[in-house]
Amino acid sequence: MQIVLVEPYYGGSHKAWADGYIAKSSHDVHLVSHDARFWKWRMHGGFLTLAAGVAELVESGIQPDVILASSMMDVAAFAGAVRNTVPGVPIATYFHESQFTYPLSPSDKVDHTYQMKNWASAAVSDTVIFNSEYHRSVFAGEAASFLRTFPDQRHTDLVGDVIDRSLVLPVGVDLTPVAGDPLPRTSPQLILWNHRWEHDKGPMELRAIVGHLLDADIEFSMAMCGEVFGSVPPLFAEITEMLGSHLMHAGFAERNRYIELLRTASVVLSTADQEFFGIGVVEAIAAGAHPVLPDRLVYPERIAALGASPATALYQTPDEAADLVMRNLPRDPDDAVRSAAQQYDWSTVATAYDRALEALADRAFDV
């Protein structure tokens, strides 16, 4: 089967997702992509140039059976742009994230444009794929609430139809580098916080947790590794200054360094205010780190799927988080939880993607 994967924002976790599926699928998967920058322009204008990329593939002799599109574009407009190039070819849209609940940064203003693009993309897709059950549930509720704000012809009756033809497929993760025995824990033991340095990853909560750990006067080291962009919330500078000599890594980590941090961390900590899957957390758990995660977003779903104890993994407040960190630091890796994390490896997940897209291609229609 010929699959065209359209990724408007080919970088970071989106790139890892596309590359992982291409590498592990049993089908021929052809990538059409744009660089991971100017995300708002990708949402507005990417559909047209990406449709041109699909046309180039067709001209080269590739006849797609199905298109798998990432949601970082206007899929409704894209469907119109490819209607003559690939008539009748079904489109599945994969939602890594959605704009309905994205926390606004202090510099942002409310703009419903991107929520509407998300909704239109879902509405015209032959199937919608969410990366977690939590995400599907949030999308259903928030889309309905959003559409009810309009004066008439509100589409609210269509939300159920979209959800009925949706499915949940996790983001595949390449867990091969962390599949072996864990490396010896560092001394002092390492707390890993592996997120983008942005406002939606909870810097205020992280600062509070770090404060509690410093007040407890315990031995620990910390790595804050993740992409750092041009504009970083000032709270991150405060946190790194607070940590001082406890901070063993700050900012982006090259792949080999990141794997080393994963394999030597005792605890993986999240403070995210926006998370629909949690790739970094899955990687760290597979490597042997104990999770300490907020009791919100996708995390309860992830902890349940891994068979971990919510009492030792999920927190409500920063002081609870600090307490869980201190309780988990001395513990040996939980082999059962590590093993359960392998369900997210691409070697397993790609098969589920293949089956879903095969079923969609079987429903293709002639025009």
Listed by start position, the domains of the chain span 2-172+346-362, 176-344
**CA dihedral for 296, 298, 299, 305, sign (positive or negative):** positive
pTM: 0.93
Which residues are CB-neighbours of 287 under 8 A, at least 6 positions away? 178, 182, 262, 263, 265, 338
Tokens linked to 338: 């590590």
| pLDDT(364) > 80 | no
Dist. CA 346–CA 317, nearest whole Å: 34
Per DSSP (E only), the strands in 100-155 are: 127-130
Q: For residue 246, which phi and psi values (nearest 5 degrees)?
A: -70, -20
Dist. CA 263–CA 174, nearest whole Å: 14
Using one digit for the tens of pLDDT, what is the confidence trace for 184-228? 888 899 999 999 999 999 999 999 999 999 999 899 999 999 989
Output the pLDDT for position 105.
Answer: 61
Q: Please give the distance of CA 195 from its chain centroid, rounded to a whole number.
A: 11
Dist. CA 160–CA 123, nearest whole Å: 10
Using one digit for the tens of pLDDT, what is the confidence trace for 123-162? 999 999 999 999 999 999 999 999 999 999 999 999 999 9
Which residues are CB-neighbours of 335 under 8 A, at least 6 positions away? none
Output the pLDDT for position 27.
Answer: 98
CATH classification number, 2-172+346-362, choose in 1.10.1200.10, 2.130.10.10, 3.40.50.2000, 1.20.81.30: 3.40.50.2000
Query: 176-344 falls under which CATH superfamily?
Result: Glycogen Phosphorylase B; (3.40.50.2000)
| pLDDT(299) > 60 | yes
Tokens linked to 94: 């994969």
Q: What is the mean pLDDT of the chain?
A: 94
Average pLDDT (272-297) is 97
Using one digit for the tens of pLDDT, what is the confidence trace for 320-361? 999 999 999 998 899 999 999 999 999 999 999 999 999 999
| pLDDT(366) > 50 | no
Which residues are CB-neighbours of 28 under 8 A, at least 6 positions away? 1, 2, 3
Output the pLDDT for position 181.
Answer: 83
Asked whether the beta carbons of 367 and 79 are under 8 A apart, the reply is no
